[in-house]
Structure 1
Amino acid sequence: VRLAVMDGKEAGHALCNAPLEEPCRNPPLDFKQARFCEDHSAYNRMCGIVAPVLPHAPLPPMPTLPADDPAAPVDGNVQHTFQATRTHCIQTLTWACGYPIAATKFYVSESESQCANWLHDLFPDDGAHLRPDYLAYDRACFLLRHLVTQNPNSPWVQDVRLIVDAWHYIGHRVSDILCRSRCNPAPADGSQPDLIIQEEINGRQITRRAFNTEAAEQLNAWLDGYKGTLNRMTDYNFDFFLYCILFL
């Protein structure tokens, strides 16, 4: 029986910040100062404030304030392109023993669809024998809902048990029936005997978890020491360094 743990770590290299509907995945020309890639360098000659699209209407008159009144505060949520953006996170997959299996970059968000696509790419049908029997993930119940909605016959639904890691499971809603019935990391009803170990210590019957469901969290905590370095790397140095420290 094998259990793998998946988790995301917020760290990433610079990306082009062109105000496009589909974010650009190219690195900027100069990873230290540039904001845009070569394909979108023309945006350097445009205003850095990304204005919302508004219907054509006359502008209201500007209010007049006394000279001694402070100016109105500027909204801190204004969308701009004054600096390059970054990849969203490093997604890691780790065996429960702590040995890393794979890592990738998520560019925009750690969504269920991206996680599902990555898992399908890692373990295609001809590599079914390599899939873990259990997958622990902090949002396993959301991932399970997504997988069932997209394809109820997915091997990640039929052959792999998705569970929430022990630490995050505490914060999941008690009223979430799917999470409590299908994603419990240590069910006491005997439905998943591989997840718990019962033993006698000093005459007392003890029940404990059979696997470390925080292996990916611990790996990502170790990566914290490299976050500052990774954030200042070019895209190719980022990829090379990440794979060296994880797999060499």
Structure 2
Amino acid sequence: MAAESLENISLDTFSQFLHLIPHLKNPIQFAPGECSCKGDLPHNVLDFLAHALKANIAHIQTLWDIIGPHAMNTAPVAPTSRDLEAFRVYGVENEISYWDVYPPTRICTMPLCNGQQLGDHMCHKAVLFTLQEGALPIFSTSVYCHSIYYHNYVVHKETSTRTYYPGVPEIIQLATYYFAESALLEFFATQMAFAWVSAENCSRVYNHTLSNKSAHILNNLQAYSSFPLDSPTPHSATPASMTPEHVSGGFILYSLLLDSAEQKEILVLPHDVGSQRLRVQPAMEARNKAMEGTGQEYWDHACDKCCILLENNGEMRKIQAAVTDGVSIGHPRCAAELHCQKPLPSPLHVFCIDHAHYDKICRVRGCSATCEPGSRTCADSGHQVMESNFVARGKAMFQLHHRLKQAGVHIPSDSSADTADDPDLIPVEPNEPDQDKPLHDGKSESGNRSLRATFGRCRTHNEQLLVRLVAISAVKLFCEQTFPTTPSMPEYLFFDDACHLHRLIQDDPHWAYTATPADVFHHDRKHGPGDTYCQQNVNPAGFPELILPDGKWRFNTSVAEQTNAWIGGFQAMVRQMEVTYYNFFLDEMIKRRNRFMVEELERKGHNPWQINRNALL
């Protein structure tokens, strides 16, 4: 009977059947109920194949009976355009897509289950954001036992935790019904690191171009008016749009999975916490803690460009240099006290929970009266005028541009930051001595006494960077945390305010073998010839080892300024971030840039040296 049916099956149908079955292993194996190669194909798979191969169901079943086991054991090959078209046209109605996601196992891995086969399959519609094929409708399947198995992780009911599978998956779940290719998330992370593209602008670029393979036509219909679309797909017909939350959440989870894989660890997150941001918060905090001090992977970097060997009385001596400097970007902090380190409930709050009562007190300094309803000042008319002036000045666009210009940041007019309702965009006069505090000056009605007020959020003063004279990482404590032992300290640490640092560390044994010259640029401008202490202790010309025989400087001490220009580009992106994500994001950006810089150095022939990290620690 089967042989008679096989005679009526074309060679093309036979060949295409062999080609498609390996791509349908999961829909076959995860079909509800017991399924094996000797049984019938699931109804949805049978219907899909009949339409895709343009064959009747009897012929498909005959092929399955004869070559099903062989086809199931064949490794899938790359899908052709014909395959993808078949899945697109006939797959969705049968709850099948080429990109469907399934758990990596059909057997329960819990010890109590003794290898029991998983059951109670649940399938739901989802969207997959891909780098090459755009936004695709897919189906996600989960299976149950004592635990719930999803594509990326297992949910343990007893502990309510998500335990991710080892390694980095090709597809990462962003939310219940949304997935993204790791390749796409890598693309977003690279855009952020090298082009300062915000999560919102990443999502805009994706939705306008990558989400649809015909985007070049759809975005320019007038130019392509005579060019027919093979399969018209207007923007409104795409499965879903990518949101900034998808991008930022995907970046965080992808980075955590990468780090876990690099550390040979398993990522475990809480499950029942309400939102993805709350779910990843503990893991981000742990990652931030691990990155403090010596956590950056290139902390112990050394190569023939940043580290040299000099012979002294027959002995070889290492000379390594670093530069430290600050860049004026920061995250919102509690405005109640200068040194309050309690986190804010959200980036839009002015005070932490412990100082929340300050919200009801007049913001004019020295005034303890209660605020008027709907106001940030008391009933004093002078205080109310100060607030009115503050609000009016805050709406002046030129003030905003001035602040960005001060930071050395160029932001296009169509910035991703929603500046209209940002309570922190407050005018600060260029000559005010304390620019990290949002202040406003005014005069009381009773005289010329100057009043100062804090209306908006306060921010941390700056990000301190410590840069090997080729790559990145307040000031004495910061350096001691980065170089925790005397052997790990660089022989030279360049700093713009080196004279004050020198006074602070001159009797500290931790700094016994570290000189602190000012960098060349700042020494010429901030340390005058009449300052004897500076000239004797921090003038870089007073250190012969820093000068080459031809009179040129051995190290590029301007590298921190160059790095400041790079990290300053993130100002608009990080200004709304709460402190945990702020630190996590910048650590990841620095890590990526360090890797790039080391690759560039090696490409140019500056080979890294092997340093015993444990000996330094």
Q: Distance in 2 between matches of 1:5 and 1:155?
A: 18
One-letter amino acid of the counterpart of residue 186, structure 1: A
8 Å contact from structure 2 (residues 320, 492) kept in 1? yes
Q: How many residues align?
A: 196
Q: Does 1:195 align with 2:549?
A: no
Q: Distance in 2 between matches of 1:182 and 1:50?
A: 41
1:123 corresponds in structure 2 to: 483
Q: Does 1:141 align with 2:499?
A: yes
1:26 corresponds in structure 2 to: 342
Written as runs of structure 1 = structure 2, the 5 A alignment for 1:74-153 is 74-75=442-443, 78-97=451-470, 99-100=471-472, 102=473, 114-124=474-484, 127-148=485-506, 152-153=507-508
8 Å contact from structure 1 (residues 17, 23) kept in 2? no
8 Å contact from structure 2 (residues 334, 343) kept in 1? yes
Shift, 1:52, TM fit: 6.5
**What is the identity percentage for the equivalent residue pairs of Structure 1 and Structure 2?**
30
Q: Distance in 2 between matches of 1:78 and 1:3?
A: 46
2:328 corresponds in structure 1 to: 10
What root-mean-square deviation, in Å, do the aligned CA atoms of Structure 1 and Structure 2 show?
2.1
Gaps of at least 5 residues in structure 2 are 1-318, 369-440, 444-448, 593-617
Q: Distance in 2 between matches of 1:96 and 1:244?
A: 20
SS, match of residue 325 in structure 2:
strand
Shift, 1:164, TM fit: 0.3
Higher relative contact order (CA 8 A, sep 6+): 1
SS, match of residue 91 in structure 1:
strand
Q: Deviation string for 1:175-196 (max 9, x for gaps)?
A: 1222112212233xxxx33201
Q: Distance in 1 between matches of 2:354 and 2:367?
A: 23
Shift, 1:232, TM fit: 2.0
TM-score normalized by the length of structure 2:
0.30
Q: Does 1:46 align with 2:404?
A: no
Q: Distance in 1 between matches of 2:365 and 2:586?
A: 33
Gaps of at least 5 residues in structure 1 are 54-72, 103-113, 200-206
1:244 corresponds in structure 2 to: 588
Shift, 1:139, TM fit: 0.5
The structure that has the greater radius of gyration is 2
Shift, 1:128, TM fit: 2.3
Q: Distance in 1 between matches of 2:524 and 2:555?
A: 17
Q: Distance in 1 between matches of 2:508 and 2:346?
A: 46
Q: Distance in 2 between matches of 1:43 and 1:9?
A: 30
Q: Distance in 2 between matches of 1:41 and 1:153?
A: 41
Shift, 1:79, TM fit: 3.2
2:171 corresponds in structure 1 to: none
8 Å contact from structure 1 (residues 49, 80) kept in 2? yes
Tell me which moved more, 128-137 or 22-31: 22-31
Q: Which protein is richer in helix relative to its size?
A: 2
TM-score normalized by the length of structure 1:
0.73
2:534 corresponds in structure 1 to: 179
Q: Distance in 1 between matches of 2:498 and 2:583?
A: 27
Moved over 3 A (4+): 75-79
Q: Distance in 2 between matches of 1:120 and 1:27?
A: 25
Q: Deviation string for 1:13-64 (max 9, x for gaps)?
A: 101111x4x53222332312x21111111122222222169xxxxxxxxxxx
Q: Deviation string for 1:127-171 (max 9, x for gaps)?
A: 3222111010001111101223xxx14332x21111000100102
8 Å contact from structure 1 (residues 186, 196) kept in 2? yes
Q: Distance in 2 between matches of 1:77 and 1:215?
A: 41
